[in-house]
């Protein structure tokens, strides 16, 4: 356990999958957590299901690509807590299985708006509060696709490369204010909505599902959302207080750079 009692965390894209696993882990560590998600019904259900104790869990329906919606959700969260966030986990994201030859501009634009724009919007609203409070922690969920271009993933790769660059730049800009910024780069993670959608879309284009590529992973299994949550909890903890600007692979050895 990392002794995170008394800290206040916002986790975006928290209704299911990796985001929900992160929220559950931070609650178990003693954090008060606000779950944000574009799906209001699902995030309300998740918050009710994982509430560790009274007052520990808050939730908000918010499209992170909409800066005003982010500002409104942040205001509601601060009111519910009577405190500002110490921790921001930018997990909300979408993807598409498409190359430049068969992509649709509207789908590319939406991926960029959510993955890059959403991360920017949340940091834009939260970082000044952390600065004024004397410190904080920002974790951006990137991907191993942000370190190596992959086929049929142009928009997703572009967005995740950008998030790694944003992480490094913000780490430099915010370090003097006591704010650490790191990224986590998941590999092939199962039990998520994005994985299901990617496998379904890939099947239409002859791409084998993740399960059929499991043998390529040195540790011999697909990742689970809890694998990402465990690393996020470490990076937030004081055990990682000399780490900033890093993009940590959690890929089972699939990617080592």
Q: Which residues pair with 141 in a beta bridge?
A: 184
Residues contacting 107, CB < 8 A, separation 6+: 96, 98, 155
Instruction: Tell me, yes or no, whether 255 lies in a domain.
Output: no
Residue of 110, 78, 80, 117 lying closest to 94 (CA atoms): 110
**Residue 215 maps to a domain:** yes
pLDDT value for 54: 46
Give the bridge partners for 137, in sequence order.
Answer: 87, 180
% of the chain at pLDDT higher than 70 = 95
Q: Report the C-alpha gap between 131 and 176 in whole angstroms.
A: 9
Residue at 85 is within a domain: yes
Give the tens place of pLDDT for each residue, 29-77: 999 999 999 999 999 999 999 885 545 799 999 999 999 999 999 999 9
Q: Categorize the per-residue pLDDT at 202 as very low, low, confident or very high, splitting at 50, 70 and 90.
A: low
Active site residues: 156
Q: Is it the case that residue 191 has pLDDT exceeding 90?
A: no
Per the domain annotation, does 154 fall within a domain? Answer: yes
> What percent of the chain clears pLDDT 90, i.e. is strictly above it?
86
Distance CA(221)–CA(187), nearest Å, equals 11
Determine, yes or no, domain membership for 257.
no
pLDDT, tens digit, 9 for 90 and up, residues 5-19: 999 999 999 999 999
Give the CATH number, domain containing residue 117: 3.40.50.720
User: Which pLDDT tens digit goes with each residue over 71-97?
Assistant: 999 999 999 999 999 999 999 999 989
For residue 189, being part of any structural domain is answered with yes
In a domain, 100, yes or no: yes
Question: Which of the four pLDDT bands, split at 50, 70 and 90, describes residue 192?
Answer: confident
Do the domain assignments include residue 244? yes
1 pLDDT band, cuts 50/70/90, is confident
Q: State the pLDDT at residue 180.
A: 98
Q: Which domain, by its residues, includes 140?
A: 8-250
Q: How many domains does the chain have?
A: 1
Residue 233 has pLDDT above 50, yes or no: yes
DSSP code at position 113: I
């Amino acid at each position: 356990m990392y002794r995170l009692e008394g800290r206040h965390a916002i986790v975006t894209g928290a209704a299911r999958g990796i985001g929900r696993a992160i929220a559950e882990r931070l609650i178990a560590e003693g954090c008060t957590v606000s779950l944000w998600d574009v799906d209001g019904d699902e995030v309300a259900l998740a918050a009710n299901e994982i509430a560790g104790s009274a007052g520990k869990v808050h939730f908000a329906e918010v499209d992170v690509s909409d800066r005003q919606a982010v500002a409104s959700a942040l205001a509601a969260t601060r009111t519910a807590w009577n405190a500002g966030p110490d921790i921001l986990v930018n997990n909300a994201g979408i993807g598409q299985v498409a190359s430049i030859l068969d992509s649709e501009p509207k789908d590319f634009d939406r991926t960029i708006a959510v993955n890059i724009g959403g991360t920017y919007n949340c940091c834009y609203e939260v970082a000044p509060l952390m600065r004024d409070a004397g410190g904080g922690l920002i974790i951006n969920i990137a991907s191993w696709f942000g370190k190596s271009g992959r086929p049929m993933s142009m928009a997703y790769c572009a967005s995740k490369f950008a998030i790694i660059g944003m992480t490094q730049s913000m780490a430099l800009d915010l370090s003097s204010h006591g704010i650490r910024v790191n990224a986590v780069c998941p590999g092939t993670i199962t039990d998520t909505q994005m994985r299901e959608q990617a496998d379904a879309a890939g099947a239409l284009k002859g791409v084998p599902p993740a399960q059929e590529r499991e043998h390529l992973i040195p540790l011999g299994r697909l990742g689970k959302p809890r694998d990402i949550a465990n690393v996020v909890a470490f990076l937030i903890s004081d055990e990682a207080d000399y780490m900033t600007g890093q993009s940590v692979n959690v890929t089972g050895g699939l990617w080592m750079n």
